[in-house]
Amino acid sequence: MFDNLLIVVSLTILAASLMAVYRVFSGPTIGDRVLAVDSIGTTAILILVLLSFIFDQMIFVDIALTFVMLNFVIIFVVARYLEVGRIFPW
Amino acid sequence: MVGTILKIISAALILIGTFFFCTGLLGLIRLPDIYTRIHSTGKCNTVGVASMVFGLVIYQGIDLMSLKLIFILVFILIINPTSAHVLARGAHKYGIDTYDGTDFDKYKHKYEEN
């Protein structure tokens, strides 16, 4: 019963992330695309956590923890490019 | 009996998180401007992920796996509002305009004074 709930929830989130894919393709500015990519990354984190409960595989949670930190780095690099104009300080 | 109640609570938390997450992604395609889109996803995705992961922690109990889930929860609660703030600030300094129905922009006024 609980596994069926998790499968339905993960399919719903996967269908909802198609809206973010639409925003990636048709965003007017660069910030919209980056924001949509960040939302897709959050969706990937949630689906990995749910899959680790569906399949009883503990290793997926570690991969989700790595994905969280990678999202952080991506957003900060792009925001620095928007604000300063270059990524590296030299 | 207690296990059944905990399962019901965790299922309710997961459904609430799904609702908030889908609402945030709907705001991503419906709202007219980059700042309103940041406003939508920066709050709704945080609440959705936090509620769903907390429901899974309640379902799992005290364990090594729930410790990792609490790590994910704390990281999301710190990182997601911070990245929304940083992206909005970078977009404003880059010069992306607000849409036509905006009443006032206090941050731009602050720029022009200095």
User: Which tens digits make up the pLDDT trace of A35-88?
Assistant: 999 999 999 999 999 999 999 888 999 999 988 888 888 888 888 888 888 888
Interface touch B28/A83, C-beta < 8 Å: no
pLDDT of residue B74: 93
User: Which tens digits make up the pLDDT trace of B15-40?
Assistant: 999 999 999 999 988 888 889 999 99
Contacts of A45 in chain B (CB under 8 A): 49, 72, 76
Residue B113 has pLDDT above 60, yes or no: no
Q: Both tokens of residue A43?
A: 């969706």
Interface touch B75/A69, C-beta < 8 Å: yes
Contacts of B15 in chain A (CB under 8 A): 9
pLDDT of residue B19: 93
Interface touch B86/A76, C-beta < 8 Å: yes
Q: Write the DSSP assignment of chain A as a string of letters.
A: -HHHHHHHHHHHHHHHHHHHHHHHHH-SSHHHHHHHHHHHHHHHHHHHHHHHHHHT-THHHHHHHHHHHHHHHHHHHHHHHHHHS-SS--
